[in-house]
């Protein structure tokens, strides 16, 4: 026993506007505190069925193997890769930011014969960018990030999916930041494997990774010549727990499942299209406010994520100092840059429950004050006025 008792748990109240986690709705926090039941209790098994149905609806899929990995979004990445890739299999990975690079690392650890296709940070991939790699590598799997959290770039999927399938490959999509914030069409885009995380636009604490395998992907997994290198993430065994058999595999995080269940209920209550529209509306107001301060986006026009706004830090402004003051004086968390963008961009999240007009105005007002203190020149109040105008324009269009 320690000499002194650890202090009572009293986490500060923050406005989470970084790259994740996002603010958690009070109903989701309440769900975490509900009575725990067993992982094979009839109530929990019925809850699993309903949660799977809500996930399928949000992902726009009928895939039977749609479930939540009992770990964070990074484990979702690992689960999809290690199940689809056997040692020596060819894989193409698209890299235009940190998380494409992370997929490369996971694929190499799984023994893939890897072909890496790079684009500049902030750019997206066109089908022509992959044509040579597909022809030469003849991959079993092609991996791509739909919403690159390190750059704020929104990657179109549909045309690339057609190219990938014409080449006879499976398409693997990282939708960690995408799911719940922008349309994700698993069946229509013929995505064979998709993974996400709970802590972004689903506004649930980190701890689960929603995932979906197509029937085609499951056929490949079940026909493997070698065992999946991860016992815990082996989809052939997880299918027996999440399928009709309900065969024990591991003790699921019961209360985290409650939380995800309630988070998905909130999205479906609002309406999936309405949820996407809210993210876009708040993004446009924030973008208008930032433009009034002379702040521009890192991602190309037309490919900017509404829920993750990566913007260039104004010249002469200290990145860490401003982020530190936002947190200490205003209780607002935003993210700094990663990799090539370290010290050059701010990453401002408007994800899930954090995507609210009051957060947009609170952040812009705080940022104006801090920039003014540091001699950045702009018309005071301009960002708030621009955001107001954007909201008024959106309201008049409905």
Hey, where are the domains in the chain? 26-268, 271-396
CA distance 88 to 250: 29
377 Cβ neighbours under 8 A, 6+ residues apart: none
Q: Distance of alpha carbon 4 from its chain centroid, rounded?
A: 40
Look at domain 26-268 and name its CATH class.
alpha beta
Question: Is the predicted pLDDT of residue 241 greater than 90, yes or no?
Answer: no
Q: What is the mean pLDDT of the chain?
A: 96
Q: Band of the pLDDT at 217, cuts 50, 70, 90?
A: very high
Could you tell me the sign of the dihedral formed by the alpha carbons of 8, 12, 17, 23, in that order? positive
| Residue 204 near residue 183, CB atoms below 8 Å | no
Amino acid 365: pLDDT: 98
pLDDT at 106: 97
Task: Note whether 76 and 211 are within 8 A (CB).
Answer: yes
Q: Indicate the pLDDT class of residue 86, thresholds 50, 70 and 90.
A: very high
Mean pLDDT of 244-267: 93
Percentage above 70 pLDDT, the chain: 99
Please state the rounded mean pLDDT for residues 349-372: 98
Q: What would the two tokens of residue 253 be?
A: 């995080």
Class for domain 271-396, per CATH? Answer: alpha beta
Residue 397 has pLDDT above 90, yes or no: no
Give me the pLDDT at residue 312, please.
98
pLDDT at 2 over 70: no
In angstroms, the CA 396 to CA 398 distance is: 6
Distance CA 261, CA 263 (A): 6
Predicted pLDDT of residue 1: 58
What average pLDDT does this structure show over 178-189? 98
pLDDT at 52 over 70: yes
Query: For position 261, what pLDDT does the model report?
Result: 98
pLDDT band at 244 (very low <50, low <70, confident <90, very high): confident
The predicted structure's pLDDT at residue 33: 97
pLDDT at 177: 98
pLDDT of 80 above 80: yes
- Determine the pLDDT at residue 245: 80
| Average pLDDT, integer, range 179-189 | 98
């Amino acid at each position: 026993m320690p000499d002194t008792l650890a202090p009572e748990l009293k986490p500060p109240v923050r406005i989470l506007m970084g790259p994740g986690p996002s603010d958690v709705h009070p109903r989701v926090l309440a769900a975490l505190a509900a009575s725990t039941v067993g992982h094979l209790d009839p109530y929990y098994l019925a809850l699993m069925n309903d949660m799977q149905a809500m996930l399928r609806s949000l992902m726009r899929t009928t895939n039977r193997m749609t479930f939540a990995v009992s770990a964070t979004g990074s484990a979702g990445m690992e689960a999809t890769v290690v199940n689809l890739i056997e040692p020596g299999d060819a894989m193409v990975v698209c890299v235009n930011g940190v998380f494409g690079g992370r997929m490369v690392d996971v694929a190499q650890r799984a023994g893939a014969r890897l072909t890496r296709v790079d684009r500049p940070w902030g750019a997206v991939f066109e089908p022509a960018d992959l044509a040579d790699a597909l022809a030469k590598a003849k991959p079993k799997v092609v991996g791509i990030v739909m919403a690159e959290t390190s750059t704020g770039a929104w990657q179109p999927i549909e045309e690339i999916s057609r190219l990938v399938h014409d080449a006879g490959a499976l398409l693997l999509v990282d939708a960690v930041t995408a799911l719940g914030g922008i349309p994700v069409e698993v069946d229509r885009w013929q995505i064979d494997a998709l993974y996400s995380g709970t802590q972004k636009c689903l506004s649930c604490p980190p701890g689960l990774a929603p995932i979906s395998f197509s029937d085609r992907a499951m056929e490949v997994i079940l026909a493997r010549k070698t065992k999946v290198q991860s016992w815990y993430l082996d989809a052939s065994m997880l299918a027996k727990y999440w399928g009709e058999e309900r065969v024990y595999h591991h003790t699921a995080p019961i209360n985290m499942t409650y939380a995800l269940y309630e988070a998905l209920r909130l999205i479906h209550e609002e309406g999936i299209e309405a949820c996407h529209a809210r993210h876009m509306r708040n993004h446009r107001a924030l973008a208008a406010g930032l433009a009034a301060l002379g702040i521009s986006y890192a991602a190309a026009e037309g490919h900017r994520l509404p829920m993750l706004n990566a913007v260039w830090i104004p010249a002469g402004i200290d990145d860490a100092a401003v982020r530190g003051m936002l947190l200490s004086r205003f209780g607002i968390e935003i993210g700094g840059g990663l990799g090539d963008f370290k010290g050059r961009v701010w990453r401002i999240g408007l994800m899930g429950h954090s995507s609210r007009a009051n957060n947009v105005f609170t952040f812009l007002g705080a940022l104006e004050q801090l920039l003014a203190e540091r001699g950045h020149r702009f018309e005071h109040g301009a960002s708030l006025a621009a955001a107001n105008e954007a909201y008024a324009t959106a309201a008049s269009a409905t």
